């Protein structure tokens, strides 16, 4: 039996190479820099989660090679996999909190540009894209939690002497289905990140154009 653990290589915002000097450019760079600083724990958590997912995937495959006669070893491996899943969920929450703190800094963008001018419009579009990105991560997080809990149920089932092959197979299928949703949500988040980077470049370009740079 195979279990596919959803990879979560979520994309980070990029600070594009830009010319600095103009007041609006400086304020935009400062605002984005503050947001990215708040997001740093999220990026660090993601790196650890990807590593743990790989370890957990390999561990489960090893578990599936064992039989009920290897009950003691199976129980130890299931406990390790369960602990790894808990660690992933803890890291998920750390990243979630970091993005929540970063989202609070979006208000710093409100100080750039004047109402009705192209710069203000570009900044508003950027701000909305960033808010949409945080919303996409919330959706991802909910699905990731759900998938992880089903995985934990699978680890418990694998050590249940009363469980038969069919019940385990059905749980594996439930895990794979949940992970498919997670992967789709991760793709949506990454697409939202691409949109943020596009809107950010457009904001810098609009500022440069409006100020004659």
Answer whether residue 5 is part of any domain.
no
pLDDT exceeding 90 applies to what percent of the chain? Answer: 67
Answer whether residue 9 is part of any domain.
no
Query: Which range of residues forms the domain containing residue 180?
Result: 23-210
- What is the 3-state secondary structure of the chain? CCCCCCCCCCCCCCCCCCCCCCHHHHHHHHHHHHHHHHHHHHHHHHHHHHHHHHHHHHHHHHHCCCCHHHHHHHHHHHHHHHHHHHHHHHHHHHHHHHHHHHHHHHHHHHHCCCCCCHHHHHHHHHHHHHHHHHHHHHHHHHHHHHHHHHHHHHHHHHCCCCCCHHHHHHHHHHHHHHHHHHHHHHHHHHHHHHHHHHHHHHHHHHHHHHCCC
Whichever domain contains 56, its CATH number is 1.20.120.570
> Per-residue confidence at 114, pLDDT binned at 50, 70, 90?
confident
Query: 120 or 210, which is more confident?
Result: 120
Mean pLDDT of the chain: 87
pLDDT at 18: 40
> Per-residue confidence at 71, pLDDT binned at 50, 70, 90?
confident
- pLDDT digit string, tens, across residues 118-173: 999 999 999 999 999 999 999 999 999 999 999 999 999 988 888 788 888 899 89
The whole-number average pLDDT for the span 188-201 is: 96
pLDDT at 77: 92
pLDDT at 14: 60
Answer whether residue 178 is part of any domain.
yes
Answer whether residue 1 is part of any domain.
no
Answer whether residue 122 is part of any domain.
yes
pLDDT at 175: 93
pTM of the model: 0.85
Answer whether residue 149 is part of any domain.
yes
> Per-residue confidence at 20, pLDDT binned at 50, 70, 90?
very low
Q: In the predicted model, is pLDDT for residue 50 greater than 70?
A: yes
The whole-number average pLDDT for the span 204-212 is: 87
Q: In the predicted model, is pLDDT for residue 3 greater than 90?
A: no
Number of structural domains found in the chain: 1
> Per-residue confidence at 187, pLDDT binned at 50, 70, 90?
very high
Answer whether residue 69 is part of any domain.
yes
């Amino acid at each position: 039996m195979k279990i596919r653990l959803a990879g979560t290589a979520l994309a980070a915002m990029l600070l594009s190479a830009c010319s600095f000097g103009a007041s609006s450019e400086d304020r935009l760079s400062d605002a984005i820099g503050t947001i990215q600083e708040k997001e740093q724990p999220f990026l660090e958590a993601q790196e650890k989660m990807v590593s743990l997912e790989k370890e957990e995937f390999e561990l489960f495959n090893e578990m599936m090679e064992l039989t009920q006669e290897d009950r003691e070893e199976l129980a130890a491996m299931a406990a390790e996999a369960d602990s790894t899943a808990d660690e992933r969920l803890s890291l998920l929450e750390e990243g979630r909190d970091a993005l929540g703190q970063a989202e609070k800094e979006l208000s710093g963008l409100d100080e750039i540009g004047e109402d009705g001018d192209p710069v203000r419009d570009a900044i508003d579009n950027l701000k909305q894209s960033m808010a949409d990105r945080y919303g996409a991560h919330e959706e991802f997080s909910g699905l990731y939690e759900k998938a992880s809990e089903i995985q934990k149920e699978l680890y418990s089932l694998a050590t249940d002497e009363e469980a038969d092959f069919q019940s385990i197979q059905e749980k594996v299928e439930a895990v794979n289905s949940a992970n498919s949703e997670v992967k789709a949500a991760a793709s949506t988040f990454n697409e939202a990140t691409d949109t943020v980077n596009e809107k950010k470049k457009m904001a810098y370009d609009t500022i440069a154009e409006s100020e004659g740079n």
